[in-house]
Amino acid sequence: MSTQEKKVAFHTLGCKLNYSETSSISREFIKYGYKKVNFKEFADIYVINTCSVTENANKETRKLIRSTKRINSDAIIAVTGCYAQLKPDELINIDGVNMVVGAEEKFNLLQHLDDLIASNDKKLMFNSEIGSVTKFESSFSLNDRTRSFLKVQDGCDYNCTFCTIPKARGASRNQTVKQTMKVAKELAQTSTKEIVLTGVNIGDFGAGSSESFIDLIMNLDKLDGIERIRISSIEPNLLSDEIIEFCAKSEKFMPHFHIPLQSGSNRILKSMGRRYDKMHFYNRIKKIKTLIPDACIGVDVIVGFPSEAEEDFMDTYNFIDQLDISYLHVFTYSERENTKALKLSPIVPKHIRLERSKRLHALSEIKRGYFYDSFVGKEKYALFESMKNGKIVGYTDNYIKIYVDGDMSLINTVQKINIIERKSKYMRANLN
């Protein structure tokens, strides 16, 4: 079978950083002559880019492997991503897995595939110790939607007690501002209207050099060909007044921030190894809302961390309740191998973790409802992304999900809208 006849399918688990990397890897396969198909379709090669933040993510990978074998029992299955870096031996021993590719080698996947095909081996591993992973590989998503996720940073030096990411992705690293701008300019030549800056710890951009994250965004603000830029998750201790003040004045950077809190208990924050306290977090929110009243603010929070008593949870609940934020991403604590949190006690029973998660999910919906309702009757600009159930769906500058009556010609355009009313997780709007 010639390369041109071979079909490849990709599936991505986890963060937007993974999505940007999968997209870049898939484009290399297409350049090489492969035909990209949907993951549920018959393919000769299946590539799974994994996450390992929780045990559920690992379970999902194993489930995908089993389902893939049912589609084509003779297919080559290649697994990369965080799970592949952390547990290569476990993955390579799963029936159906042919190749496991770690962090340093994921962008050489095509070459390693050739190695596999050329060898007599049915299983190959390409994995190195995470300490040796020092190279930064730029990537961005393309053609999946009107937004593109641009990777500007990788790795993390923080070593929070619950997190495996430093062991899966290595130390913090990035290209220079000049090199990053070169990639951004390439992206600006496409039909992309909006860029989302992504990384493991993007606020750490430039650490150890004369450059910093503010230098990057000031340069990106001058980028022609891109109408909107968003900052993905940024640590509260790295979200400086200077960054907030710059975004407040910028027309290109959207009024949207995502900031991990993790806990509203100072005791738990210290136990997690976080680099701020709740008052610092509160001041970040206050600063944003003072300068950018319409800003959308998403917050990450973890429930059920070891030793989290009901009092600690209520500190978190009440703290979030009084914060002027827009929504939550709630994570139920999951034990991860080789993390310091495993040594902490007492362990919170899983049924209590789930109950606390439900309470915070409910609070998130209340927060989102208040935020959405505050924009009824207001004008906004929205970038339309897709058609769902006969409606054109998009996002406002401050990340409100809206729909309007219209046709496909609206997709990938920015239009002025009037927000009319809330409909579940959407806002109904009219074109202005």
Instruction: Show the 3-state SS of 307-354.
Output: CCCHHHHHHHHHHHHHCCCCEEEEEECCCCCCCHHHHCCCCCCHHHHH
Q: How far apart are CA 347 and CA 335, in angstroms?
A: 10
> How much is the mean pLDDT over the chain?
94
User: Are 263 and 336 a contacting pair, CB within 8 Å?
Assistant: no
Q: How far apart are CA 219 and CA 216, in angstroms?
A: 5
Split at pLDDT 50, 70, 90, the class of 412 is: very high
What is the mean pLDDT of the segment spanning 331-358?
96
pLDDT at 115: 87
Q: CA nearest 300: which of 173, 155, 160, 171?
A: 160
User: Are 150 and 188 a contacting pair, CB within 8 Å?
Assistant: no
Q: Residue 237 burial (CB < 10 Å; 0-12/13-18/19+)?
A: middle
E strands, 102-193, where? 124-126, 147-151
The 10s digit of each residue's pLDDT in 265-287 is 999 999 999 999 999 999 999 99
Joined tokens for residue 30: 């297409």
What domains appear along the chain, each with residue ranges and CATH number? Answer: 3-128 (3.40.50.12160), 134-254 (3.30.750.210), 379-431 (2.40.50.140)
Share of the chain above pLDDT 90, in %: 90
User: Are 200 and 172 a contacting pair, CB within 8 Å?
Assistant: yes
User: Are 68 and 77 a contacting pair, CB within 8 Å?
Assistant: yes
What is the mean pLDDT of the segment spanning 161-186?
96
Q: Which neighbouring-strand residues pair with 37?
A: 9
Identify the residue whose tokens are 């934020």. Answer: 325
